[in-house]
């Protein structure tokens, strides 16, 4: 997506919680990463943060 010039925020969700998975997702262009399981409030907070960054 970044190569196409798109700036849509990306939140990676994964069943893997390893540091390697997190690093790979962020290196691939995600701005945030959540490993499962996660709390709904944590997901909503991440989405709010990413959208606020997009607006700012």
pLDDT in tens, 15-53: 999 999 999 999 998 999 999 999 999 999 999 999 998
Which residues span the domain enclosing 15?
2-55
The pTM of the full predicted model, rounded to 2 decimals, is: 0.80
Work out how many domains the chain is built from and give that number: 1
Give whole-number Cα distances, 2 to 5, 31, 43, 46, in Å: 5, 12, 23, 20
Residue 11's pLDDT band (cuts 50, 70, 90): very high
Q: 52: which residues sit within 8 A by CB, 6+ positions away? A: none
């Amino acid at each position: 997506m970044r190569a196409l010039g798109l700036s849509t925020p990306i939140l990676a969700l994964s069943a893997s919680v390893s540091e390697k998975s997190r690093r790979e997702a962020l290196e691939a262009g995600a701005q945030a990463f959540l490993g499962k399981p996660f709390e709904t409030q944590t997901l909503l907070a991440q989405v709010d943060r990413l959208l606020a960054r997009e607006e700012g």
